[in-house]
């Protein structure tokens, strides 16, 4: 895809518009979806699509916040991406889908986490569904879409340094209707607060998306994997992931974030019990053990049989 524009929209945040080359249309996406950007330095990073600001059938919009404490992808992006350049784009994929037909929806966003939440809000507005949005940022300079959000009913913007405190997520969850669906995207402390506050609700009505894995990847090794398509058995050594092991064996396994948050490396489990460390699968899906993210997961049994 071609980079049509790179615009500074908030402190350390750039909005990037991408259009397909050769005049082709983009693949349709639903609220909560993200795309993979393949950077020229070999890194692959995931960014939520911003829907409702442009013609979604002609371009993708993403907002990229520079994280100086991250793994280097966003910093490289801010320094190197310019209008007119091209890049490989994967997806879209959606691990954070919106249920648009519940009685009421509570949306909670922190910082750059507003990008998928904004898309959900716009979809709910178009369908005239009942919702409320709570958006928390450290300072006004870091807020996205502020001009749009300030004009909307049922939207509450919390500026930490103006309020003198953090958004009271426990109070937001406590006031929410028992039948409501709750969505939260933001930094790890916000997600932890949200999960504690919403822990008594049915898991099917609680939805989160994180920027990085909350649980460290398994690195102890000491188990085997059997690749069902060839019958090959590999030993996952200490300190290595399943993904690293199969790649070293010459298998071109698909992966992207390698942190267990994007879902690209999801692999069917045909035997054994996986040790899940991802942020993609629901508790019910983890308990079923039918698939796993091989970039970060391990094994609770001596051998896993994988559909590879």
**pLDDT (tens digit per residue) in 265-287:** 999 999 999 999 888 888 888 89
Q: Which secondary-structure segment (H or E) carries 47? A: strand 44-48
Determine whether 82 is exposed, middle or buried from the number of CB atoms within 10 Å of its CB (0-12, 13-18, 19+): exposed
Domains of the chain in sequence order: 2-93 (2.40.30.10), 105-209 (3.40.50.80), 223-306 (3.10.20.30)
pTM for the full predicted model: 0.80
φ/ψ region of 303 (left if φ > 0, alpha if ψ in -120 to 50, else beta) reads beta
Examine the pLDDT at 87 and tell me if it is beyond 60. Answer: yes
Mean pLDDT of the region 47-69: 83
**Residues 225 and 297 sit within 8 Å (Cβ to Cβ):** no
Backbone angles phi, psi at 109, to 5 degrees: -135, 145
Question: What is the maximum alpha-carbon separation in the chain?
Answer: 61
**Residues 15 and 103 sit within 8 Å (Cβ to Cβ):** no
Q: What is the pLDDT of residue 50?
A: 94
CA separation for the pair 258, 162 (Å, rounded)? 37
**Residues 261 and 210 sit within 8 Å (Cβ to Cβ):** yes
Say how far residue 249 (Cα) sits from the centre of its chain: 29
Q: What is the pLDDT of residue 106?
A: 98
Nearest alpha carbon to residue 105 among 184, 199, 189 = 184
Q: What is the pLDDT of residue 46?
A: 86
Examine the pLDDT at 24 and tell me if it is beyond 90. Answer: no
Q: What is the pLDDT of residue 78?
A: 86
CA separation for the pair 59, 124 (Å, rounded)? 21
Q: What is the pLDDT of residue 268?
A: 95
């Amino acid at each position: 895809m071609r980079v049509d524009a790179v615009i500074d929209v908030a402190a350390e945040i750039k909005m990037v518009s991408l259009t397909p080359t050769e005049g082709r249309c983009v693949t349709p996406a639903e609220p909560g979806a993200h795309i993979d950007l393949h950077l020229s330095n070999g890194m692959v990073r995931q960014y939520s699509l911003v829907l409702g600001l442009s013609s979604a059938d002609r371009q993708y919009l993403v907002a990229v916040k520079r994280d100086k404490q991250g793994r280097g992808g966003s910093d490289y992006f801010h320094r190197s991406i310019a209008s007119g350049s091209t890049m490989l784009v994967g997806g879209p994929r959606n691990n954070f889908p919106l249920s648009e037909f519940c009685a009421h929806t509570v949306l909670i966003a922190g910082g750059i986490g507003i990008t998928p939440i904004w898309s959900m809000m716009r979809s709910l507005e178009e369908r005239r569904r009942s919702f409320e949005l709570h958006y928390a940022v450290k300072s006004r300079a870091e807020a996205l879409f502020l001009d749009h959000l300030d004009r909307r009913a049922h939207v509450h913007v919390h500026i930490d340094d103006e309020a003198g405190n953090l958004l009271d997520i426990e109070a937001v969850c406590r006031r929410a209707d028992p039948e409501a669906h709750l969505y939260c995207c933001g930094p790890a402390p916000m997600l932890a607060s949200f999960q504690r506050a919403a822990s008594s609700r049915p898991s099917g009505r609680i939805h989160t998306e994180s920027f990085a894995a909350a649980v460290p990847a398994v690195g102890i090794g000491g188990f085997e994997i059997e690749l069902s398509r060839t019958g090959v058995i590999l030993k996952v050594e200490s300190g290595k992931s399943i993904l690293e092991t199969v790649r070293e064996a010459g298998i071109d396994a698909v992966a992207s974030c390698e942190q267990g948050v994007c879902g690209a490396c999801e692999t069917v489990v045909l035997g054994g019990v996986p040790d899940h460390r991802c942020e993609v699968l629901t508790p019910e899906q983890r308990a079923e053990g039918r698939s796993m993210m091989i970039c970060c997961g391990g094994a609770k049994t001596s051998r896993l049989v994988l559909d590879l």
